[in-house]
Amino acid sequence: DQQVKQNSPSLSVQEGRISILNCDYTNSMFDYFLWYKKYPAEGPTFLISISSIKDKNEDGRFTVFLNKSAKHLSLHIVPSQPGDSAVYFCAASASGGATNKLIFGTGTLLAVQP
């Protein structure tokens, strides 16, 4: 039972254009969402997060949007750069436990073409 889903295994975008990566979740108890970026042969690195009390969080070229009613979040990268080419993981957690456990999606491979 995949509680966090990334239905697009891959995405190709031209340099300078917008990249939109999508993520859906099924567990209504999730209230904190994160995006991680992963290069080959490295561990994932934290990119941006959003709490369920917000619907948007922005950090430079990266913006995460949260639609709680649709149980959907998206990561926008504007403008996209070749160095953004990586696998992007969406993750979610629920409060109420003292563990900070994250549930990860399957990832989307982003390729930014020069």
Partner 1 sequence: NAGVTQTPKFRILKIGQSMTLQCAQDMNHNYMYWYRQDPGMGLKLIYYSVGAGITDKGEVPNGYNVSRSTTEDFPLRLELAAPSQTSVYFCASSSNDRDRGGYTFGSGTRLTVV
Residues that bind partner 1 (CB under 8 A): 4, 6, 9, 32, 34, 36, 41-46, 49, 51, 89, 91, 93, 95, 98-107
Residue 110 contacts residue 87 (beta carbons within 8 Å): yes
Nearer to partner 1, 50 or 77 (CB): 50
Residue 107 contacts residue 21 (beta carbons within 8 Å): no
Minimum Å distance from CB 17 to partner 1? 26
Using a 10 angstrom Cβ sphere, with 0-12 exposed, 13-18 middle and 19 or more buried, the burial of residue 91 is buried
Nearer to partner 1, 53 or 114 (CB): 53
Minimum Å distance from CB 104 to partner 1? 4
Tokens found for residue 87 = 């696998």
Nearer to partner 1, 52 or 79 (CB): 52
Strands 30-38 and 45-51: what pairing?
antiparallel
Minimum Å distance from CB 4 to partner 1? 8
